[in-house]
């Protein structure tokens, strides 16, 4: 099984940023590839465009929301 996640190296220890599906004391092979901010061209611009797009979204509710009782009243 192959899993890809990012990690932070701090005080001699790699700390994964995401969860890993591993059992205790399982041996794994690591391939370490440095990720630098300069390796991510346009990331700041893309994030700014995403935030602007989210701010411009308009959501319209056509029907009323169900009540708590209606949500929990299931057969």
| pLDDT at 40 (0 to 100) | 64
Which residue in the block uniquely carries the two structure tokens 């630098």? 36
- pLDDT classification of 13: cutoffs 50, 70, 90: very high
Asked if pLDDT for residue 43 goes beyond 70, the answer is yes
**Proportion of the chain above pLDDT 70, given as a percent:** 89
31-46 residues labelled b (16+ CB within 10 A) or e (exposed): eeeeeeeeeeeeeeee
- CB 30, CB 16: distance < 8 Å: no
Instruction: Tell me the torsion sign for CA atoms 61, 67, 72, 74.
Output: negative
CB atoms closer than 10 angstroms to residue 7? 15
* Pairing outcome for strands 7-10 and 13-16: antiparallel
């Amino acid at each position: 099984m192959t899993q890809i996640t990012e990690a932070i190296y701090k005080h001699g220890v790699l700390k994964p940023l995401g969860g890993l599906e591993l059992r205790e004391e399982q041996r794994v092979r690591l391939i370490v590839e440095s990720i630098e901010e300069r390796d991510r061209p346009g990331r700041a611009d893309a994030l700014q465009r995403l935030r602007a797009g989210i701010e411009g979204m308009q959501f319209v509710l056509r029907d009323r929301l169900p009540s708590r009782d209606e949500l929990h009243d299931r057969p």
